[in-house]
Amino acid sequence: MITDLFSKDISELYRTPIVQQTSFWSILKKRLGVTTIAADFKPRRDLLCTSLNRADGSDNDLLIMVRPAGSLGSIAYVPYGPEFEPNPEYHGAFLEELAESLRSLLPSDCFMIRFDLCWESYWAKDESFFDRSGEWMGEPEPFAQEIRFNSSTLNGNFRRALSNVLPSNTVFIDLLDDEESIINRMKPKTRYNIKLAGRRGVEVRVADIDELDVWYDLYNQTAKRNGIFINDVRYFRELMSVNSYGTGSPAVALLLIAEIDTIPLASMFLILSSGRASYLYGASSDMHRNMMAPYALQWRAIQIAKEYGCYQYDMFGVSPNSDASHPLSGLYRFKSGFGGDIFHSLGCWDYPFDNEKYNLFRTNEMTVQGYHLA
């Protein structure tokens, strides 16, 4: 299924809308102390792939990150990769061969590889997984998922990870239409709040790295309000400092701030990569929430994405459905209001090279917050 697999320089990673598979992302992670590996491979033509590009069996690649896992050794992680997707009936077999082929490029103490797949879930369009109101109820139990995924493999070695690292549910907004058509697809409340923010004087601008403290203050407010894990300010400083324009897969991070009378109310990071714009991080103030600044912020981000020639806007992370008990249900209500299509991916799948070490690692994952691999 795979031929000509070899490592290459991270600057040679192919252009892709998946920012987590770009040279930009690799440079960022290397600056933060993460070991990254770029691998090139050629899949067989008869895999009937459905990937966005290089679908003719020509060269494909992927970005791999290697992290220490204490005394157990190290683990490999592939964020939203590979982009190349074979026909679903070959998913497991293809990834099994890819994982085994990659062993020669990984450290000798690497005992597992985790694929954070952006391929659509098998159950996302299965009518039996929707309720009477037409809402998706989610995937089956992990055991049932593993039977389906391993059906084409030789060793049946894939395990569904305990949790996903990157979001497995998102909202994609089509940017190919004009602005009027885009806003008309939004829910009435979202359109109203965008207009309300404008009437109340909320303005959105692109900020530079000197205003990173404004972002970080709002980010901390949001984290305390919602009880979420936060990145160190260094992470965002590096995010804004990466220059990948001399590479094969450049991307750019823009910091947007929504304010009224110079008072910052909301902020976000917009990532632009090969035709896709992604809402990667967002934050808002505890004050003046009636100004609807996050709505103005998202609408301006969509407009900027169109100005850059993007065809798609990724809202990056929602709950799988509108269930109010889910911790991301608020994001579901907010993001789905902008009129995009909800996409459910397969999420994280583990391929152990050493089952004894993997089981110890998995037990540890059950008891701690987790390894922030992304």
DSSP string covering 197-215, please?
Answer: HHHTT-EEEEE-GGGHHHH
pLDDT exceeds 80 at position 179: yes
Yes or no: say if 291 and 235 are a contact pair by the CB < 8 Å rule.
Answer: no
Q: Which residue ranges make up each domain of the chain?
A: 2-168+345-367, 176-310
Summarised one tens digit per residue, pLDDT across range 241-297 is 999 999 999 999 999 999 999 999 999 999 999 999 999 999 999 999 999 999 999
User: For residue 4, is it left (φ>0), alpha (ψ between -120 and 50) or beta?
Assistant: left
- In DSSP terms, 255 is beta-bridged to 207, 269
Q: Which two tokens stand for residue 106?
A: 């990984």
DSSP string covering 99-136, please?
Answer: HHHHGGGS-TTEEEEEEEEEEEPTTTT-GGGB-TTS-B
Per-residue pLDDT, averaged over 300-312, amounts to 98
User: What is the CATH code of the structural domain delimited by 176-310?
Assistant: 3.40.630.30
Summarised one tens digit per residue, pLDDT across range 198-245 is 999 999 999 999 999 999 999 999 999 988 888 999 999 999 999 999
Instruction: Provide the residue type at 140 as one letter.
Output: P
Per-residue pLDDT, averaged over 291-310, amounts to 98
Summarised one tens digit per residue, pLDDT across range 107-164 is 999 999 999 999 999 999 999 999 998 899 999 999 999 999 999 999 999 999 999 9
Q: What single-letter DSSP state applies at residue 164?
A: -
Decide the pairing of beta strands 60-68 and 341-352: unpaired
CA distance 158 to 96: 8
Summarised one tens digit per residue, pLDDT across range 77-112 is 999 999 999 999 999 999 999 999 999 999 999 999
Closest-CA residue to 203 (of 139, 267, 278, 116): 267
CA distance 294 to 338: 12
What pLDDT score was predicted for residue 4? 85
Closest-CA residue to 311 (of 270, 275, 273, 272): 275
Element spanning 263, H or E: strand 263-273
pLDDT exceeds 60 at position 167: yes
Confidence of residue 368 (pLDDT cuts 50, 70, 90): confident
φ, ψ of residue 3 to 5 degrees: the values are -130, 160
CB count within 10 Å of CB 162 equals 12
Per-residue pLDDT, averaged over 305-332, amounts to 93
CA distance 320 to 337: 15
Yes or no: say if 275 and 310 are a contact pair by the CB < 8 Å rule.
Answer: yes
User: What is the CATH code of the structural domain delimited by 2-168+345-367?
Assistant: 3.40.630.30
User: For residue 57, is it left (φ>0), alpha (ψ between -120 and 50) or beta?
Assistant: left
- In DSSP terms, 259 is beta-bridged to 203, 264
Summarised one tens digit per residue, pLDDT across range 45-74 is 665 555 544 444 567 999 999 999 999 999
**Domain pair 2-168+345-367 / 176-310, same fold:** yes
Confidence of residue 328 (pLDDT cuts 50, 70, 90): confident
Q: Residues 291, 294, 300, 302: is their CA dihedral positive or negative?
A: negative
In the Cβ-directed half-sphere of 57, how many Cα atoms lie within 13 Å?
A: 8
pLDDT exceeds 70 at position 373: no
pLDDT exceeds 80 at position 304: yes
* Residues recorded for the chain: 374
- In DSSP terms, 85 is beta-bridged to none
3 compared with 293, residue with greater pLDDT: 293
CA distance 38 to 105: 9
Q: Which two tokens stand for residue 81?
A: 């990769």
Closest-CA residue to 254 (of 319, 305, 329, 317): 305
